[in-house]
Structure 1
Amino acid sequence: MDIIGNRTLRDLLTEKVTHHPDKTFLVFEDNKEQLFALTYREFADKVNRLATALLEFGVKKEDKVTLHLPNCLEFMISWFSLAQIGAVMVPTNILSTEEEMEYILGHSKSVLLITEETYLNKFNNIKDTLPIRDIWLARYEGTEYQDKSLDRIMEQSRGEIPIVPLDSEDVAAMMYTSGTTSRPKGVLITHANYLYAGEVMSKSIRLTPDDRQFIVLPLFHANAQYYSSMSALTVGASIAMTERFSASRYFKQANRLGATVGSLFAAPIRMILRQKYDPADRDHNLRVVWFAQVVSEEQLAAFEENYNTKLLQLYGMTETIGTPLMNPIDGVCKNMGIGRPVLGYEVKIVDDFGNEVPQGEAGELIVKGVPGRTVMKGYFNNQQATEEALKDGWLYTGDNVRMDEEGYFFFVDRKKDMIKRAGENVAANEIERVIIQHPGVFDCAVIGIPDEIRDETIKAYVVLREEHHVSPDEIISFCQTRLAKFKVPEFVEIVTELPRTSVGKIQKHILRKMHMEGAKNHG
């Protein structure tokens, strides 16, 4: 059943502005702890002004415009301004290097870059080799580039936007995957995709117009766009946003900004738990915080008890658009798992030949969907990757999962993250789940390393809790009583932190590189 029709982001914003123009849409706290707020009408006015300026500059339907911005009002305004005229937003990670940005700007064929003065040095050496025709600056307070100031550009725009014909399956954004194993791929996201994400998430968490979504994760990733921004707009709720995540101020910010629902992933949850406990952090209105990835049972219980809120685990990826799996907001909640199928999604677990596996066995999670409506439209200029991911009406996620007898799903590992040890397939995640239960362990990651006899052997990188002293041998002994012999790590290295992407995914290719360099130095 199609619940979107031919509606677009432009239609959705117009609808909400018509219904409650003077309702607060967005409250924003910047890094200086200054507050800014926009009503639905004020937000739409800025969107229309920038949209007109983009058209006057020469941005056409289907043109790509890259955003290289932290969380800020200008990010949201740019997103919807581009959607108004049928152009395509390309959000990028502000931590990306010059080389990474050169690839994305070139691959996407972006005609314009919107960034901040802070990041200009990143583009000085490459801008002349790229297709971009100009660089506009958000929150610019200097004098040298006044004509590039986004504020000035919007002030000078007449705000009367010509109506560009739009279709719900027009591409609205191209979001590059993190590229932890290969070159990033540009995920094509349509207007229908965004609206579907909003419908699914708002219903899954029972969002109401009185709710206020709390966004602390980066807007340049799917979580803040799909699950927080779109669900709020879908029901006419409001958004509380911070420029960046603060572990020490998370609940104080939530209280100050009036947030009622939030979103995190595993690493920020652990960071919050590492802070000195302050009873004042129970003073907030967050009724639920949903999260992705895995925390230990101890960490989950401590978070809920200390901070008086409910944690709810879910599963989703940029390509799935919505959250195909989520723990129910009521009823039995198995938060060491990734939930059950939500309304609007059908999933299966299959083997390497596409056959469903028996209940309890691990296999690849695939999600039934319509490209460009309920799942991604495809990968930009990458037909091979698109055909590998989208087959016969199913999206192949590349994630191995299993399902228990009650229909709850549990993440096993990335399909390509299996360790081949002496003919046995060992899931790194299975070992990580055991190690993280050790009372002295704060975080861990497991990789396979080359072995002349067994193909690969197992190495664990472990971050200890503060004021805990645990030896590698103790970790190995802990595993020996809980894992089959062939799954026990042969090597354990204690480290102070693990390399992660901006959304908390452990960069195992960096750990492998660290090991190889260490082996070379000791060779």
Structure 2
Amino acid sequence: MNNNINVSLADSVLSKTLSRAVKASPDKIWLKTNSSNLTFSEVDKLSNRLANAFVELNVKKHDAVLAMMPDSTDFIVAWCALSKIGALEVPVNTAYNGQLLTHLINDSQAKIMICHADFLPRLIEVKSKLEHLTNIILVDSDKKIDLENDIGDAFQVTLFHDCYKASEADLMTDVGGEELISIVYTSGTTGPSKGVMTTQRHAYRYACTIIEALELNKQDVVYTCGMPLFHVAGKWGACYATLIMGATLAIPDKFSLSSFWQDVKDFRATTSLLPGVVASLLYSQPEHKNDANSTLVKGCMVPLIPEFEQFKARFGMRISMAYGSTECGAPMVHPMNIPVTDRRSVGRLKSDLYEVAIVDGQDKELSAGEIGEIVVRSNEPWIMMLGYWNRPEATRKAWRNLWFHSGDAGFKDEEGNYFFVDRINDCIRRRGENVSSSEVEGIIIGHPDILECAVYPVPSELTEDEIMVAIVLKPDTRLAAEELIEYLQGKMPYFMVPRFVQFTQDLPKTATGKVKKKELSDIGVVESTWDCVAAGIKIKR
């Protein structure tokens, strides 16, 4: 590891990392958007203002503060401000609505939320079901919201940009590397989303692994590539990594595949975290003689697409791979200079920081080449999750036998290389998002015409999975697939809406009544399956 970034536990705190960057390069641009730039010093001063304003709003150390914001400099400044107070950022997926949004807000027990005007209608819609939230810090620079008519007495409202008028004085809150920085909700397994309790050191170490994977240096410009800042890959892997290294982060005002290469040119981006689905779509575009002539020369692709070698050659890029999760950090890296013999490779273990084993259903370690569950534990304190927020039983289950159970299937070879094979449980990976099949089923079964359903993954042409649902209707009812999709669009995020719908007379089950989802997944899409894409229906975002 780069010794310049291998700091002590006490120094691996976001606010101290920002202070070091300001001291080293106060006037260097840290954050670039299509319309504005902010230097390290400017972010420090603005985050001081926000931190002082938040304190005036009675935000205290260890308080949970929700943040539902689009990717922006404001989001990052708010993140830095909350760390200066020692408050816990609770980032909210901006696609959440209805039942999922209500669960996350209530489970966090947060009383205050930073919310962009674009998402406020979703809050108003579920207001009657919210148990703790009373205060909104409204991001509304374009004045889209009529406070009296649109909000009324639903919440106490403070305007976010008025908070920038507060004092620039430094706060003296003492925050340690072992203390929490955030609660990050993830649908990593079955059931409702769980809040992962992450420490300052956890976030710092995750970012350091991405620095290694990207071979990041202070001259680099990291393009976020649509990796949202409410995800740890965006917030820690891209944003925090650039802060630690004194590099620059490029955030498009709105990411789209059609503007990818123009953004790279405008920002002079040199590297990026590349989701497999984005890489696949880029590769599928018509070839151009200048494909290899951009400033983008390296990236970390997760997962590797089948054509990754051709991708490297065509676009003149060096590619690395890594394995990690919100819960366990990033324990494995496949560097750019090591040839890839199997696209499932996630590289070698960072043995100074982690231990990894491949185990069977009884947690017995398996031999090289045998597929089992990937389990992880740390050799350094505070670099993995402390547990699931308000979920002691789920924490105990995940940490049984002193190993964190990832829910991922994998194997290692005789040389100590690790390989990711698939998810073990009912989690579906779609377009960079973890989707709990039970959460999708819980919403679908609310339709009055549906007797039972099963949600499961089928292969996607863009890597990862597509979502398919098999449905049994109640007797004497009729339901068109188009009607079901319309029903679901207002009740779940766009990435959870199934692409494929299969109506059936019954579901295959075990002797104990459990649906055989593996059997359904193996059957997959057949001639009678309805396809949302083929039907020309565009899911609303």
Is the TM value for this pair above 0.5? Answer: yes
Aligned to 1:136: 137
User: Cα distance, 1:180 vs. partner?
Assistant: 6.6
Deviates more, 1:342-351 or 1:365-374: 365-374
Q: Structure 1 residues 489 and 249, CA, compared in 2 at 3 Å: closer, same or farther?
A: closer
User: Cα distance, 1:279 vs. partner?
Assistant: 4.1
- The answer as to whether partners of 1:217 and 1:244 remain within 8 angstroms in 2 is no
Instruction: Letter of the 1:141 partner, please give it.
Output: D
Instruction: Letter of the 1:311 partner, please give it.
Output: I
Say whether residues 1:162 and 2:171 are aligned partners.
Answer: yes
- The answer as to whether partners of 1:364 and 1:400 remain within 8 angstroms in 2 is yes
Question: Structure 1: how far apart are the matches of 2:96 and 2:407?
Answer: 24
Q: 2:271 aligns with which of 261, 266, 270?
A: 261
Q: 1:304 aligns with which of 291, 306, 312?
A: 312
Q: Secondary structure at the match of 1:248?
A: helix
Say whether residues 1:68 and 2:61 are aligned partners.
Answer: no
Q: Secondary structure at the match of 1:333?
A: coil
Q: Secondary structure at the match of 2:327?
A: helix
- The answer as to whether partners of 1:113 and 1:136 remain within 8 angstroms in 2 is yes
Q: Structure 1 residues 179 and 389, CA, compared in 2 at 3 Å: closer, same or farther?
A: closer
Instruction: Letter of the 1:44 partner, please give it.
Output: D
Q: 2:183 aligns with which of 174, 184, 188?
A: 174
Q: Secondary structure at the match of 2:345?
A: coil
User: Cα distance, 1:91 vs. partner?
Assistant: 0.3
Question: Structure 2: how far apart are the matches of 1:375 and 1:233?
Answer: 21
Aligned to 1:352: 361
Equivalent positions of 1:278-293 (< 5 A) are 278-293=288-303
Equivalent positions of 1:365-404 (< 5 A) are 365-369=374-378, 373-391=382-400, 393-404=402-413
Aligned to 1:473: none
- The answer as to whether partners of 2:115 and 2:137 remain within 8 angstroms in 1 is yes
- The answer as to whether partners of 2:86 and 2:175 remain within 8 angstroms in 1 is yes
> 1 or 2 for the larger relative contact order (CA 8 Å, sep ≥6)?
2
Say whether residues 1:271 and 2:281 are aligned partners.
Answer: yes
Aligned to 1:218: 228
Say whether residues 1:237 and 2:247 are aligned partners.
Answer: yes
Aligned to 2:436: none
- The answer as to whether partners of 2:222 and 2:248 remain within 8 angstroms in 1 is yes
Equivalent positions of 1:30-49 (< 5 A) are 35-49=35-49
User: Cα distance, 1:391 vs. partner?
Assistant: 3.8
User: Cα distance, 1:139 vs. partner?
Assistant: 4.5
- The answer as to whether partners of 1:445 and 1:460 remain within 8 angstroms in 2 is no
Q: Structure 1 residues 383 and 172, CA, compared in 2 at 3 Å: closer, same or farther?
A: same
Aligned to 1:24: 29
Q: Structure 1 residues 64 and 279, CA, compared in 2 at 3 Å: closer, same or farther?
A: farther
Q: Secondary structure at the match of 1:65?
A: strand
Q: 1:405 aligns with which of 393, 414, 439?
A: 414
User: Cα distance, 1:332 vs. partner?
Assistant: 2.0
- The answer as to whether partners of 1:49 and 1:158 remain within 8 angstroms in 2 is yes
Deviates more, 1:208-217 or 1:359-368: 208-217
Aligned to 2:238: 228
- The answer as to whether partners of 1:347 and 1:366 remain within 8 angstroms in 2 is yes
Aligned to 1:333: 340
- The answer as to whether partners of 1:109 and 1:132 remain within 8 angstroms in 2 is yes
Aligned to 1:478: none
CA-to-partner distance for each residue in 1:260-288, whole Å, 9 max, x for gaps? 11012222222223434444553322221
Give me the CA root mean square deviation. Answer: 3.1
Equivalent positions of 1:449-460 (< 5 A) are 450-451=507-508, 456=516
User: Cα distance, 1:496 vs. partner?
Assistant: 5.6
Q: Secondary structure at the match of 2:36?
A: strand
Say whether residues 1:324 and 2:339 are aligned partners.
Answer: no
Aligned to 1:121: 121
- The answer as to whether partners of 1:64 and 1:109 remain within 8 angstroms in 2 is yes
CA-to-partner distance for each residue in 1:124-167, whole Å, 9 max, x for gaps? 1333644223212225222745973322221x201224311212
Question: Structure 2: how far apart are the matches of 1:494 and 1:338?
Answer: 35
CA-to-partner distance for each residue in 1:457-496, whole Å, 9 max, x for gaps? 86688xxxxxxxxxxxxxxxxxxxxxxxxx7869575846
Question: Structure 1: how far apart are the matches of 2:416 and 2:533?
Answer: 35
Instruction: Letter of the 2:260 partner, please give it.
Output: Y
- The answer as to whether partners of 2:213 and 2:300 remain within 8 angstroms in 1 is no
Aligned to 1:517: none
Deviates more, 1:198-207 or 1:382-391: 198-207
Q: Secondary structure at the match of 1:233?
A: helix
Q: Structure 1 residues 180 and 354, CA, compared in 2 at 3 Å: closer, same or farther?
A: closer
Q: How many residues align?
A: 449
Instruction: Letter of the 2:139 partner, please give it.
Output: A
Question: Structure 2: how far apart are the matches of 1:490 and 1:100?
Answer: 28
Say whether residues 1:189 and 2:198 are aligned partners.
Answer: yes
Q: Structure 1 residues 99 and 273, CA, compared in 2 at 3 Å: closer, same or farther?
A: same
User: Cα distance, 1:196 vs. partner?
Assistant: 1.4
Question: Structure 1: how far apart are the matches of 2:21 and 2:465?
Answer: 45
Q: 2:216 aligns with which of 204, 207, 221?
A: 207
- The answer as to whether partners of 1:448 and 1:459 remain within 8 angstroms in 2 is no
- The answer as to whether partners of 1:458 and 1:489 remain within 8 angstroms in 2 is no
- The answer as to whether partners of 1:196 and 1:373 remain within 8 angstroms in 2 is no
| TM-score between both structures, scaled by the size of structure 2 | 0.75
Runs of at least 5 residues in structure 2 that lack an aligned partner in the other structure: 149-156, 428-455, 471-506, 535-541
Equivalent positions of 1:101-116 (< 5 A) are 101-116=101-116
Question: Structure 2: how far apart are the matches of 1:457 and 1:233?
Answer: 44
Q: Structure 1 residues 443 and 399, CA, compared in 2 at 3 Å: closer, same or farther?
A: closer
- The answer as to whether partners of 1:116 and 1:140 remain within 8 angstroms in 2 is no
CA-to-partner distance for each residue in 1:428-480, whole Å, 9 max, x for gaps? 99x95xx96xxxx987659898436898486688xxxxxxxxxxxxxxxxxxx
Q: Structure 1 residues 131 and 278, CA, compared in 2 at 3 Å: closer, same or farther?
A: farther
Q: Structure 1 residues 183 and 200, CA, compared in 2 at 3 Å: closer, same or farther?
A: same
Question: Structure 1: how far apart are the matches of 2:400 and 2:241?
Answer: 28
- The answer as to whether partners of 1:68 and 1:92 remain within 8 angstroms in 2 is yes
- The answer as to whether partners of 1:446 and 1:459 remain within 8 angstroms in 2 is no
CA-to-partner distance for each residue in 1:377-414, whole Å, 9 max, x for gaps? 11101111111222454321111101233332222222
CA-to-partner distance for each residue in 1:26-52, whole Å, 9 max, x for gaps? 1013xxxxx210000001111100000
User: Cα distance, 1:243 vs. partner?
Assistant: 3.5
- The answer as to whether partners of 2:114 and 2:138 remain within 8 angstroms in 1 is yes
Question: Structure 2: how far apart are the matches of 1:107 and 1:98?
Answer: 14
User: Cα distance, 1:361 vs. partner?
Assistant: 0.5
